[in-house]
Amino acid sequence: MKKWLNSNGVEDNSIILYGESLGTAIAVDLASSNSFSGLILESPFTSMEILAKKYYPYLPAKLILKDKYKSIEKISKINSPILIMHGREDKIVPFSMGEEMYKKFDGVKYNFFSDNDDHMMNFNENLINTIKKFISSLN
């Protein structure tokens, strides 16, 4: 998609990446080697290996996972502003992972941590306003 956008005259500094759940790992990976206008992560996880151990503690996740998606190791390479959104009631990706990603990032960052949201964020007025403010803050 990036190549297509670039070939059609859309520069990276005009792109805001948005990743949700598994898509956050792809967005983090792409943003760690490119400079985008911004990055929005909804319900991000720190690494697939750590998340897999939570659900399958009896399996050697480190050995059987082809893609480990170590977002926590890549987030420090990102130079775009980030908005991290995560619900404290997330039953799939622990809220602590989104919070850890937020704390680990040293750049310009915003968050929307909701007390009532589960894995799928409720796009209510507060969340929409947070996204609008984030986008307005970008160059």
- Catalytic residue selected from 21, 32, 37, 118: 21
67 noted as active-site residue: no
Please enumerate in sequence order all residues whose Cβ is within 8 A of that of 68, keeping only pairs 6 or more positions apart, or say none. Answer: 47, 48, 49, 62
- Catalytic residue selected from 29, 90, 114, 117: 90
21 noted as active-site residue: yes
117 noted as active-site residue: no
What are the residue numbers of the active site?
Answer: 21, 90, 119
